[in-house]
Amino acid sequence: MRAFQALVIVAVLSGAATLAAGVTAMRPVLGIVLPYLALAVFLAGMVARVVWWARSPVPFKITTVCGQQRSLPFLRRQPLESPFTGWQVVGRMALEILLFRSLFRNTRTELTPRKNLAYQPDKLLWAGALAFHWSFLVIILRHLRLFLEPVPRMVGILESVDGFFQLAVPTFLLTDAVIVAALLYLLARRLFNARVRYVSLAADYLALFLLLGIAGTGIAMRYFWKVDLVSVKELALGLVTLRPVLPEGVGAIFFVHLFLVSVLFAYFPFSKLVHMGGVFLSPTRNMANDNRARRHVNPWNHPVPVHTYEEWEEEFHDKLVACGLPLDKE
Amino acid sequence: MYDAGKILAGLVIFLLLVTTPVWWSFAMGAEVRAPKLVLPEGRRACVLPTGEMKATHMELLNRWRDLAVRHGDRVMTTWDGRKVRRSLTQSCLGCHTDKDKFCDRCHDYVAVTPYCWDCHVAPRGGAS
Question: In chain B, which residue ranges form alpha helices assigned H by DSSP?
Answer: 4-18, 20-28, 50-65, 71, 93-95, 103-109, 116-119
Report the DSSP pairing between strands A117-121 and A107-111.
antiparallel
Report DSSP state, residue A326.
Answer: -
Q: How far is A152 from chain B (nearest CA, A)?
A: 9
Which residue out of A169, A228, A264, A281 would a mutagenesis test of the B interface target, given it has the greatest number of B Cβ atoms within 10 Å? A169
B7 touches chain A (CB under 8 A): yes
Establish whether the linkage from the previous residue to A170 is cis, with ω within 30° of 0: yes
Rank A83-92, A302-311, A321-330, B79-88 by mean pLDDT and report only the highest.
A83-92
The answer to whether A47 contacts B11, with C-beta atoms less than 8 Å apart, is: yes
pLDDT at B124: 67
pLDDT at B127: 46
Closest in A55, A147, A232 to B1, CB measured = A55
Question: In chain A, which residue ranges form alpha helices assigned H by DSSP?
Answer: 2-22, 27-28, 34-55, 86-99, 101-104, 124-147, 153-162, 174-192, 194-199, 202-223, 229-240, 252-267, 275-278, 309-315, 317-323
The Cα–Cα gap between A245 and A35 comes to 13
User: What domains are defined for chain A?
Assistant: 2-323 (1.20.950.20)
- CA distances, A24 to each of A12, A232, A249 (Å): 20, 17, 11
The closest of A188, A178, A163, A95 to A133, measured between CA atoms, is A178
The Cα–Cα gap between A147 and A239 comes to 9
**A78-102: pLDDT as tens digits:** 999 999 999 999 999 999 999 999 9
Q: Is the pLDDT score of B30 beyond 80?
A: no
B128: confidence class by pLDDT, cuts 50, 70, 90: very low
Q: How far is A1 from chain B (nearest CA, A)?
A: 36
User: Which residues of chain B are within 8 Å of residue A153 when distances are taken between CB atoms?
Assistant: none
Residues 6 or more apart in contact with residue A102 via CB below 8 angstroms: A96, A285
The SS3 of residue A143 is helix
Q: How far is A278 from chain B (nearest CA, A)?
A: 11
A330: confidence class by pLDDT, cuts 50, 70, 90: low
**A29-85: pLDDT as tens digits:** 999 999 999 999 999 999 999 999 999 999 999 999 989 999 999 999 999 999 999
The Cα–Cα gap between A215 and A208 comes to 10
CB distance A35 to A49 below 8 Å? no
B118 touches chain A (CB under 8 A): no
**A111-127: pLDDT as tens digits:** 889 999 999 888 999 99
Closest in B2, B22, B55 to A228, CB measured = B55
Lowest mean pLDDT among A10-24, A59-73, A237-251, B18-32: B18-32
Partner residues linked to B75 by β-bridges: B85
B27 touches chain A (CB under 8 A): no
Q: What is the ipTM of this complex?
A: 0.87
The closest of A268, A312, A303, A298 to A136, measured between CA atoms, is A268
The Cα–Cα gap between A39 and A47 comes to 12
Numbered residues of chain A with Cβ closer than 8 Å to any chain B Cβ: 42-43, 46-47, 50-51, 54-55, 58, 144-151, 155-156, 159-160, 166, 169-170, 226-230, 232-234, 236-237, 240-242, 247, 249, 277, 280-281
CB distance B7 to A54 below 8 Å? yes
A174 or B123: which leads in pLDDT: A174
Interface contacts (A, B; CB < 8 Å): 85
**Overall average pLDDT of the A6-16 stretch:** 95
Partner residues linked to A117 by β-bridges: A111
